Amino acid sequence: MGEVQDLYEKIVELAKRRGFFWPSYEIYGGVAGFYDLGPLGARLHQKIIELWREYFIHRHQDLVVEIETPIIGPEIVYKASGHLEHFTDPIVECLKCGRKYRADHLIEEKLGIKTEGLSPQELTRIIREHDLRCPVCGGPLSEVKLFNLLFRTTIGPYSSNIGYLRPETAQGMFVSFKRVYEAMRHRLPIGIAQIGRVARNEISPRQGMMRLREFTIMEFEFFFDPENPREGLDEYLPRVADTKLRILTAEARERGEEKPEEYSVEEAINEGVVRVPWMAYWMAIARDFVMALGVPYENMFFEEKLPHERAHYAQQVFDQLVKVSRWGWVEVSGHAYRTDYDLSRHMKYSGHDLTVFRPYPQPRVVKVKKVIVDKAWVGRTYRSDAPRVFELLSRLSPEEVERMLRERGKVVVEGYEIPGDRVRVVEVEEKVSGRRFVPHVVEPSFGSERLLYVTLEYAYREREGRVVLSIPRRLAPIEVAVFPLVRDERLVEKARNVKRMLQDAGFYVYYDDDGSIGRRYARADEIGVPVAVTIDYQSLEDDTVTLRDRDTWRQVRVETARLVEAVRRFLEGASLEELGKPVGS
Amino acid sequence: MGEVQDLYEKIVELAKRRGFFWPSYEIYGGVAGFYDLGPLGARLHQKIIELWREYFIHRHQDLVVEIETPIIGPEIVYKASGHLEHFTDPIVECLKCGRKYRADHLIEEKLGIKTEGLSPQELTRIIREHDLRCPVCGGPLSEVKLFNLLFRTTIGPYSSNIGYLRPETAQGMFVSFKRVYEAMRHRLPIGIAQIGRVARNEISPRQGMMRLREFTIMEFEFFFDPENPREGLDEYLPRVADTKLRILTAEARERGEEKPEEYSVEEAINEGVVRVPWMAYWMAIARDFVMALGVPYENMFFEEKLPHERAHYAQQVFDQLVKVSRWGWVEVSGHAYRTDYDLSRHMKYSGHDLTVFRPYPQPRVVKVKKVIVDKAWVGRTYRSDAPRVFELLSRLSPEEVERMLRERGKVVVEGYEIPGDRVRVVEVEEKVSGRRFVPHVVEPSFGSERLLYVTLEYAYREREGRVVLSIPRRLAPIEVAVFPLVRDERLVEKARNVKRMLQDAGFYVYYDDDGSIGRRYARADEIGVPVAVTIDYQSLEDDTVTLRDRDTWRQVRVETARLVEAVRRFLEGASLEELGKPVGS
């Protein structure tokens, strides 16, 4: 209403009109937290996913493998993972109109009181103390309760078979860890990645594409030996040797600092800022990946979470934050040290052994204590009870037996006595061929729809009163535009041939012969087509065309026969001037 | 137990051991109808999806666009689509032990009676007549009921907000049709595609990877003008001019035929075998696509569904069937003529106009009938009731008014009479600038996990007592293997360099220096690596390596400097002999 649109509104308007994204189910009034990706958005999304794959999987193909597991999981998985207990938000209900609100958000918005880490009881107390009421009808509010964010369903025809939609892909990697580990012939460290939809039943999501109830996660669990946490790193560390990370540590935050400090990856490791060396490595790759989407270094940093901000499974967490227009610093990735929490929980709940065994290079001889008992004496003394006595003795550790002998001069188990001269503890040498342990895990995790929005926001420029979407060339949904200069049949025919040639070469082509050439450039710039090919009258004479750079609006002329190669090189990063003769020179 | 494994079992064993696929949630005893894709399976899956994109979208980029919509949808969408009412299977419960069964399957298995198209009442009658009982406990069975296959959930904190997981991606395209149509500047015909997860809550799925409760659909809705159903086709039809389709028509099936007949695409169109010309075109592309997965022409045909076999929305359906070892002919794609069913239903349920308007090249002058009534007379006669009378009259068609005048000499609506001299029907000329209509739709739809299994089955060969997986080269999850001939440090070092060179060039490389070279070839063949590079002692002398073809086991020698190009050409289809000198010649 006469107000100036903010950048978010401009992008949302453009996204709807040109087909990047829009709210789902619009004809039914929409459902909060669900968005569609249109033709351009879906292609941009695919390219962002492909770029992530390249950075984290393809370039690390000896370290990271990708799998696919289901979205729907049985209840036991989310009991084991802790999500049934911990994956909650505080909710409050109006006792008059029945509307429901996220309690912490309501308090922060209406009262301006910080609520991080507060319990439902504490939130209730704040509501009572400030007489906070329903913002719609003014009715009184209920006690604050915890609302579980898992989408619940039933698997098959038995109503007792509860299932949930995964809120992260991670549990798929943990539950199937052993199968992957076997198939990969016991490779360690190993990253197991997944890219797929997840669902979180937010109470009242209101940030458009930034907070969705259903979205796509790109993440991997990186399993390593906790006794050898640098294993394999030396081969990869040189790749990020010069990489600087801006980090705001939890300790600095507790001191009241708000500005991140700069560390090289090695400093972050050596100074113990990032506790797991591999985590620092993956943070460096995350930095480079987000920069490749168009976010400058200074608009990004890693914030260490405070203990009460961390998920239940994590011992250290860094959020990668990026500055966006409307919401300030927002999280685009999370880097969590999940320890052996998940595998250990699944061992406990499933009864399956999820440890790994690593042979020593050579079997080691170790000294171990053993309990030696005079079996003949026990047999004579306890007769038919003797097996039971052996069983009970076997459950005692050598240390316990030593203690009993030291303190009481005999061993007593469930009333059976063995005197000190019939039992002793000796030290023997044993050959041990390896070690069995539960791997620890660091997890880099990205939300791709949010990154898609961030990419659009950083690509958005206004120039001479119109929009140019400077999407990084390799991410552009439509790669090249083809225009006849005017709607002359000879130009149109040649333009169509050029279009087909480029399509056959594998490019996505935007063809347009409607309106003036200026309007057509504008329509192509607005959706971020990096380069436009124009067929003009000179094209009919010497079989050349012009190439125009979306970002500089400069033009060069190239031979049609060399066009495919020129476009390919341009998309790979060449400057226009390398590809042809400047127009008008 | 001494029995010979069938092909399915062999593939399942291989798939688990090497990491193609396995049942999900194994450590918790598994959940029927859910499978994981392991590292090799996920890559094969991606390549199959990418191939589908190439065949149906990239090569048709002027016709088909891809979007992404949510898996979770509000109840109204599935009311409108008819799935709440029609997407059901018959279920029967044991009244003693409570076990539930799919009634039609139970009857077919235990009694050998065909059940296609039978109602729950008819199924109940068969159970009663044959005294069919619970196959586990022998208890009596309940009445047969219909069980809805939609996974149900709740969206947000209000329990009345029912949501469902989509059983097909299609409703996303219908609900968002208007947005896409606008963003694509009113292109028609237009295909709107989606590749994504869907969920169907099968009663008791028991066919492994062939019948999943959660799987991936690749499909598109192709919207066209029903009055101009060949529009745009002429440009594309030549691409499939020589394509033959094996089709078993519904009519032939009703005659008792079991063998398909061969039609060219043009014959299928011209003889009306396939009612919508574009549908025949897409069936031809489907044929080529499935052949590219390795299925020979003669192991595939299109079966037209009988009326009672068709989904509720379809007027003509062809299933693309492929022969597999254990289950005979199975559906790998469905081609449905959905008419305007879905858009019309969503118009009705949402109240939104989903018609499209197509201007005529020039406005047309058409003759239309109009009802002319003596308004002054109606006003004088009916006074305050006059608006009501006008309203009622406006609801009558000119034809109805004509009929009343012809038959009774007057018009009577809800007791109000207008004599024949106060109302008449005239014909007037009107300018009409275009036509408004609901597009019709044909839908090609593929299940990708099933295609993955089919691809593995058709790739499976045994040779000299071991397995060679002859996956089409461009689909192979691992593209090239690198081996040092023996574990000599100089060979290992060179092999690692070659491996890195190939990885840097973008290939997925299988490196192995464990065991004999023969065993390593065998391990690579078993997972379908198309070509193996071996570094031997000659490599140290003249910087050449050998290339070995997985399928022929023949070898050639190439220079290391030309290796990247040689591997690329081999994967694109070149024969080994084009790439180097035969070894041993």
Which tens digits make up the pLDDT trace of A418-455? 999 999 999 999 898 999 999 999 999 999 999 999 99
- Structure confidence at residue B3 (pLDDT): 60
User: Per-residue pLDDT for A384 more than 50?
Assistant: yes
**What token pair was written down for A158?**
């038995």
Q: Do residues B210 and B157 lie in contact, with contact meaning Cβ atoms separated by under 8 Å?
A: no
CA distance A104 to chain B (A): 15
Taking residues A228-233, what's their average pLDDT? Answer: 96
- Structure confidence at residue B13 (pLDDT): 96
Determine how many CB atoms are found less than 10 A away from the CB of residue A495: 25
> How far apart are alpha carbons A34 and A584 in whole angstroms?
49
Record: contact B38-A179, CB cut-off 8 A: yes
Is residue B46 left, alpha or beta, with left meaning phi > 0 and alpha meaning psi from -120 to 50? Answer: alpha
Which parts of B94-230 are beta strand (E)? 100-102, 145-148, 152-154, 162-165, 190-199, 214-224
> Angle, to 10 degrees, between the axis of helix A563-571 and the axis of helix A489-504?
60
- Structure confidence at residue B585 (pLDDT): 56
- Structure confidence at residue B246 (pLDDT): 98
Q: Do residues B100 and B205 lie in contact, with contact meaning Cβ atoms separated by under 8 Å?
A: no
**Residue of B42, B67, B180 with shortest CB distance to A68:** B42
Q: Does A67 touch chain B (CB under 8 A)?
A: yes
CB-defined contacts A:B, below 8 A: 235
- Structure confidence at residue A368 (pLDDT): 86
> Angle, to 10 degrees, between the axis of helix A120-129 and the axis of helix A103-111?
40
Partners of B463 in the beta sheet?
A: B466
**Residue of B38, B74, B180 with shortest CB distance to A28:** B74
- Structure confidence at residue A2 (pLDDT): 47
Q: Do residues B409 and B454 lie in contact, with contact meaning Cβ atoms separated by under 8 Å?
A: no
**Residue of B28, B33, B158 with shortest CB distance to A100:** B158
DSSP state at residue B438: P
Average pLDDT, chain A: 95
- Structure confidence at residue B242 (pLDDT): 83
Nearest to B553 by CA among B534, B535, B572: B534
Give the HSE-up count for residue B161: Cα atoms under 13 Å, Cβ half-sphere.
17
Dihedral sign, Cα of residue A38, residue A43, residue A49, residue A52: negative
Q: Does B32 touch chain A (CB under 8 A)?
A: yes
Determine how many CB atoms are found less than 10 A away from the CB of residue B233: 15
Q: Does A32 touch chain B (CB under 8 A)?
A: yes
Q: Do residues B212 and B106 lie in contact, with contact meaning Cβ atoms separated by under 8 Å?
A: no
Residues in chain A closer than 8 A to B156 (CB atoms): 32-33, 100, 201-204, 213
Q: Does B213 touch chain A (CB under 8 A)?
A: yes
> How far apart are alpha carbons B442 and B444 in whole angstroms?
7
CA distance A25 to chain B (A): 6
* Start-to-end C-alpha separation, chain A: 47
> How far apart are alpha carbons B88 and B146 in whole angstroms?
6
Banded model confidence at residue A3, pLDDT cuts 50, 70, 90: low
Residues in chain B closer than 8 A to A71 (CB atoms): 71, 197, 199, 214
Partners of A280 in the beta sheet?
A: none
User: B154: Cβ–Cβ under 8 A, 6 or more apart, which residues?
Assistant: A151, A152, A201, B161, B162, B163
Record: contact B158-A73, CB cut-off 8 A: no
Nearest to A223 by CA among A358, A321, A68, A319: A358
**Residue of A34, A100, A180 with shortest CB distance to B19:** A180
Which residue has tokens 């994504």? B196
CA distance B250 to chain A (A): 33
Element (H, E) at A21: strand A21-23
Residues in chain A closer than 8 A to B163 (CB atoms): 31, 151
Q: Any long-range contacts for B253-260 (C-beta under 8 Å, 24+ apart)? A: B253/B303, B253/B304, B253/B306, B254/B306, B260/B301, B260/B302, B260/B303
Q: Do residues B133 and B140 lie in contact, with contact meaning Cβ atoms separated by under 8 Å?
A: yes
- Structure confidence at residue A391 (pLDDT): 87
Which residue has tokens 């295609």? B451
Residues in chain A closer than 8 A to B153 (CB atoms): 151-153, 165
Q: Do residues A246 and A302 lie in contact, with contact meaning Cβ atoms separated by under 8 Å?
A: yes
CA distance A205 to chain B (A): 9
Record: contact A156-B41, CB cut-off 8 A: no
Record: contact A183-B19, CB cut-off 8 A: yes
- Structure confidence at residue A215 (pLDDT): 98
- Nearest chain A residue to B72 by CA distance is A214
> What is the amino acid identity at position B374?
D
**What token pair was written down for A357?**
């065994």
> How far apart are alpha carbons A22 and A13 in whole angstroms?
9
Nearest to B66 by CA among B154, B193, B215, B162: B193
Instruction: Please provide residue B330's backbone torsions phi and psi, each rounded to the nearest 5 degrees.
Output: -125, 150
Element (H, E) at B79: helix B75-80
> How far apart are alpha carbons B243 and B241 in whole angstroms?
6
- Structure confidence at residue B166 (pLDDT): 98
Residues in chain A closer than 8 A to B157 (CB atoms): 91, 100, 147, 201, 203-204
Where do the H-state alpha helices sit in A463-546?
Answer: 489-504, 517-526, 537-542
**What token pair was written down for A237?**
């560390």
Q: Does A77 touch chain B (CB under 8 A)?
A: yes
pLDDT in tens, chain B (585 residues): 446 789 999 999 999 999 999 999 999 999 999 999 999 999 999 999 999 999 999 999 999 999 999 999 999 999 999 999 999 999 999 999 999 999 999 999 999 999 988 999 999 999 999 999 999 999 999 999 999 999 999 999 998 999 999 999 999 999 999 999 999 999 999 999 999 999 999 999 988 888 999 999 999 999 999 999 999 999 999 999 889 999 999 999 999 999 999 999 999 999 999 999 999 999 999 999 999 999 999 999 999 999 988 888 899 999 999 999 999 999 999 999 999 999 999 999 999 999 999 999 899 998 889 999 999 999 999 999 999 999 888 888 899 999 999 999 999 988 899 999 999 999 999 898 999 999 999 999 999 999 999 999 999 999 999 999 999 999 999 999 999 999 999 999 999 999 999 999 999 999 999 999 999 999 999 999 999 999 999 999 999 999 999 999 999 999 999 999 999 999 999 999 999 999 975
**What token pair was written down for B526?**
């078993």
> How far apart are alpha carbons A342 and B73 in whole angstroms?
31
Strands B190-199 and B214-224: antiparallel
Taking residues A224-248, what's their average pLDDT? Answer: 95
Residues in chain B closer than 8 A to A355 (CB atoms): none
Q: Does A434 touch chain B (CB under 8 A)?
A: no
Partners of B190 in the beta sheet?
A: B223
Q: Do residues A440 and A339 lie in contact, with contact meaning Cβ atoms separated by under 8 Å?
A: yes
Record: contact A156-B32, CB cut-off 8 A: yes
Partners of A416 in the beta sheet?
A: A413
Q: Which residue has the higher pLDDT, B198 or A204?
A: B198
Q: Please give the order of strands across the beta sheet that includes A581-582.
A: A509-511, A480-484, A531-535, A544-549, A555-559, A581-582
> How far apart are alpha carbons A125 and A130 in whole angstroms?
9
User: B466: Cβ–Cβ under 8 A, 6 or more apart, which residues?
Assistant: B522, B525, B526
Which of A16, A18, A36, A510 to probe by mutation at the B interface, max B CB count within 10 Å? A36
**What token pair was written down for B476?**
């192979």
Which parts of B325-471 are beta strand (E)? 328-339, 356-373, 410-413, 416-419, 423-437, 440-447, 460-463, 466-469
Q: Does A390 touch chain B (CB under 8 A)?
A: no
CA distance B354 to chain A (A): 9
What 3-state class would DSSP assign to A196? strand
Give the HSE-up count for residue A176: Cα atoms under 13 Å, Cβ half-sphere.
36
- Nearest chain B residue to A37 by CA distance is B68
Record: contact B175-A28, CB cut-off 8 A: yes
CA distance B16 to chain A (A): 8
**What token pair was written down for B414?**
């809800």
Record: contact B172-A73, CB cut-off 8 A: no
**Residue ranges of B 222-251 with Cβ closer than 8 A to chain A:** none
Partners of B468 in the beta sheet?
A: B461
> How far apart are alpha carbons A427 and A247 in whole angstroms?
51
Partners of B411 in the beta sheet?
A: B418
- Structure confidence at residue A312 (pLDDT): 87
Nearest to A217 by CA among A332, A65, A361: A332
Nearest to A209 by CA among A297, A43, A326: A326
Taking residues A187-215, what's their average pLDDT? Answer: 95
Which residue has tokens 């005529």? B360
Taking residues A100-110, what's their average pLDDT? Answer: 94
Which parts of A422-472 are beta strand (E)? 423-437, 440-447, 460-463, 466-469
Taking residues A245-254, what's their average pLDDT? Answer: 97
Which residue has tokens 């490779």? A187
**Residue ranges of A 164-193 with Cβ closer than 8 A to chain B:** 165, 172, 175-176, 178-180, 182-184
Greatest pairwise CA separation for chain A in angstroms? 114
> How far apart are alpha carbons B41 and B451 in whole angstroms?
12
Record: contact A68-B41, CB cut-off 8 A: yes
- Nearest chain A residue to B215 by CA distance is A70
Partners of B437 in the beta sheet?
A: B356
